Amino acid sequence: MLAHLTDTARQLAAILWQQHTVYRDRTGGVVIRGEHVQRWISLSATGTRGEVLIRAGRILDGGTSAPARAETVLRLSSGTAELAAACRRLLADIAVSAAPAAPYAPEPGRAPRPARKRTGRARIALWIALATVTSAAVLAALVAYSSYSAASGR
């Protein structure tokens, strides 16, 4: 199975990227790295017979691999074209998830809401509530201690 997985990974690498590196990882799977596109794809055998787990992720600055962002399971016998299509879908999912979020734009025809002015009133109210709770807890502890002291005769 590992030899078939390695051969399939080499074929996929040639289809996906002109510049690539194919190697085995510690778990026995095969990794295809495309340094020029800052992406990687990993193929590993799953617990079921004849299926392969395909995972894709980004390559970070400095060459380290980021955790997988997308994954899927396919039959290894499904063919190189179908496996390549699945890899391209995973790579597209990674590109979408890595894209920066679009800035907020109000709906057309609707004026944007004015920014709320933040006052110190909420902060003062929070501190007062915190002080009240703390003093109540201290008072309860003192009452409990005095009751204990009175009951024990100290």
In the prediction, which pLDDT does 101 show? Answer: 54
Read off the pTM.
Answer: 0.59
Mean pLDDT calculated for residue range 91-118: 66
Residue 131 pLDDT: 92
What integer is the mean pLDDT of 19-27?
86
Would you kindly state where each structural domain of the chain is located, as residue ranges? 2-98, 120-154
Residue 86 vs residue 116, higher pLDDT: 86
pLDDT of residue 134: 92
Cβ 27 vs Cβ 44: under 8 Å: yes
**Residue 132 pLDDT > 90, yes or no?**
yes
Report the candidate in 1, 5, 46 with the shortest Cα–Cα distance to residue 24: 5
